[in-house]
A and B are shown apart, each in its own frame.
Chain A
Amino acid sequence: MMSGKSKQIVRYAMAASLVAALTFVCYHLRPIISETDVIMIFLVGTVATAVWTGRGPAVLYSLLCVSAFNYFFIEPLFQFNVYNPSYWLTFAVMFLASIVISTLTTKLNTQVQLAENRERETHTLYQLLTALNAAKTTEEMVEALSQYLRILAGGTVRIVLAGSIIEIPIAISSTSLPIVGSQRTIGYVEFDVALPASGDRKKVLETCIALFASMMEGAEKARQAEQSKIWAETEKTRNILLSSISHDLRSPLAAISGSAETLLEKLPQDPLLMSIQQESRRLARIVSNLLDITRMEGGQIRLNMMAYDPAEIIGSAVAACRESLRQHKLSLNVEKDLPFVRMDGLLTSQLMQNLLENASRHTPANTGIELKAYLREGSFCIAVSDNGPGIPAGSEKNIFNKFVSLPSEGKPKGVGLGLAICQAIALAHQGRIYAQNRAEGGCRFVVEFPQSLTLQQAQEPAHG
């Protein structure tokens, strides 16, 4: 293979030889052709030189052909001086025409070359795109890319992809290119030949790799979308099932507990009746919770937002749990003069009831439970603290998941919906809920409503 420099020398030599050849032919045809014809023939040669050899050799050609014309065709022959000075003008025009022609031709030539290159690149990219599209797995996509890079770069390539989690250290050397996605670098390509530092060829390689990266990301996104669609479908089916079962269970359970209660009027303290009543109530509560959570998760929850004095909602929640808190000491610690807060009163009351009942279920009798309500940086917060065993380390987050229930001593295990409902209610208000163990023992559940729900201190209504 020839280096660029020697190629260039050959081109100059070609230009020079063309001048020699044309001079030779014209010299021998002199009796038939005039000086003007010689000029025309030399100018045609200019076009040929410009097309085949490029700008530099074409300039050399122009110089040489003017010299040859002077030397071989103008009196005195075989000398560079002329008798008739008007020929100097002829030379100048001839040189200028030659330069202009060669300039225009090389420009055109370059344009054609560029267009052809672009078309080839586009074609290659299109083929790569088709191949990547047809690929069903990551392996097939990698194979398609390496095939085209091989064609484009010459030599073999090695494609290294980062795992989904591990960040690979990428050494950018002269023989490798990174595969950069929109979020992060997903791998690199290593070539066994040195890459051009810049220029069109490198750009094509980079474009191929960028195309591959975006296709990889697209495929990944599609996979995730598919997965979440399947998940959502499953969840929906499960919710429909839960909801219809719960509906069917609700009436018989209400009838069982109601009947037991009525019978207890006649047979007070009958242990079997009492157990029927308690257990059917427990079941009824589970069923209501199931219905609530499916309703909330099904997006059917429409908040009935109104301004409330937080104290009155706390009051209603505490009154509703009086029965389940009978064996605990509840202390209420509500900040004085809390501003009104916009919320769904019924759901917020239910949230507090669930937290209080949860605390009473997981802590021994006669221990204290504290409900605190306060403002923090303008956000209304509720905290329920207990003095029980606390939350096992690592469970602080997943206790809010559906059907996660921690065992509590001596009491039937819950179904694990109470806290999930709390979370759904907090989230529906754009608030948040979290659990933490307290340094002094027990745990604390904190609910924070967004600051935007806290109303400015009420202004005076217009009339008394």
Chain B
Amino acid sequence: MVNKARIVIVEDEREISRFLEAALEAQAYNVETVSSGREALKLTSAQPPDVIILDLGLPDTDGKEVIRKLREWSRVPIIVLSARDQEQEKVEALELGADDYLTKPFGTHELLARINVALRHATRREQPAEMTYSYKELAIDLARRKTILRGSEIHLTPTEYDLISLLARKSGQVVTHGELLKEVWGRNAEQNDHYLRIYIQRLRQKISDDPLRPEYIFTEPGIGYRLSESK
């Protein structure tokens, strides 16, 4: 397996970074580890990696600060590692521009899946030609604003379409409540999470997705929603 992608791990706990290195190197990734936010910024500005895995609990700087600085000049995918008791931190990190998150303890399968999604998104950004989403029986034509279920077009209201297209553009990655509300309803709508639920409920009905056993739209309680990755 040849996998040239270069991954930077920002993690101060040696036990964790050591096994992350082993797991990623086993997949033939090119791995470098740093243990502080300062080093991370220095290393990425010298030679931008393909993915950054960032622990939110760093000794020198707040992980969120690293994201903020990185996002000033780079769109490199960032996957955040956090503890279970840092729900709010996660949301903030995502809204600052992190691409996805993993809650410790996580399995390597989960980690590798997230890295793959992130890498695919990064490539897709460079080829804007790819403007369709498709998974199982659902397809979305992002250029012509069409949603197709089992081969026939379904009618979505503009708001419903805005929602699903936003999720589709970041398919496989979580989109926070805040991002969805801001993008679809505008800057001042962030308190109206109630609306968001109503529209998600209707969307699910229209694409016949059962919230109890979802196939397309997954709820991440307290964080946001995730649409299955486009295949």
Give Cα A346–Cα B177 distance, bound, in whole angstroms. Answer: 14
Is A196 interfacial (CB 8 A cutoff)? Answer: no
Q: Classify chain A: how many residues form its interface, as a range.
A: 35 or more
B177: chain A residues within 8 A (beta carbon): 306
Q: A255-B19, A464-B157 are in contact. Are A250 and B104 (CB under 8 A)?
A: yes
Inter-chain contact total with CB atoms closer than 8 Å: 123
Q: Which residues between 68 and 89 of chain B lie within 8 Å of chain A, taking CB atoms?
A: 83-85, 87-88
Q: Which residues between 435 and 464 of chain A lie within 8 Å of chain B, taking CB atoms?
A: 455, 458, 461, 463-464
Is B187 interfacial (CB 8 A cutoff)? Answer: no
Q: Which residues between 112 and 142 of chain B lie within 8 Å of chain A, taking CB atoms?
A: none
Chain B residue at minimum C-beta to C-beta distance from A252: B15
Is A319 interfacial (CB 8 A cutoff)? Answer: yes
* Contacting pair A345 B105 (CB below 8 A): no
* Contacting pair B26 A262 (CB below 8 A): yes
Give Cα A410–Cα B2 distance, bound, in whole angstroms. Answer: 45
Measured CB to CB, the closest approach of chain B to A213, in angstroms, equals: 49
* Contacting pair B105 A455 (CB below 8 A): no
* Contacting pair A265 B26 (CB below 8 A): yes
Give Cα A72–Cα B94 distance, bound, in whole angstroms. Answer: 120
B193: chain A residues within 8 A (beta carbon): 306-307
Q: Beta-carbon contacts of A266-298 to B below 8 Å, as 1s and 0s?
A: 100000000000000100100010011001000
Chain A residue at minimum C-beta to C-beta distance from B104: A254
Is B108 interfacial (CB 8 A cutoff)? Answer: yes
B201: chain A residues within 8 A (beta carbon): 309
Give Cα A306–Cα B108 distance, bound, in whole angstroms. Answer: 31
B208: chain A residues within 8 A (beta carbon): none
Give Cα A252–Cα B158 distance, bound, in whole angstroms. Answer: 49
A313: chain B residues within 8 A (beta carbon): 219, 221
Is B16 interfacial (CB 8 A cutoff)? Answer: yes
Q: Which residues between 211 and 225 of chain B lie within 8 Å of chain A, taking CB atoms?
A: 211-214, 218-223
A262: chain B residues within 8 A (beta carbon): 19, 22-23, 26, 108
Is A261 interfacial (CB 8 A cutoff)? Answer: yes
Is B20 interfacial (CB 8 A cutoff)? Answer: yes
A173: chain B residues within 8 A (beta carbon): none
Known: A261-B108, A288-B84, A295-B85. 16 other contacts (CB 8 A): A251-B13, A251-B16, A255-B16, A258-B105, A261-B107, A261-B109, A262-B22, A265-B108, A308-B219, A309-B197, A309-B201, A309-B211, A312-B219, A349-B221, A461-B159, A464-B159
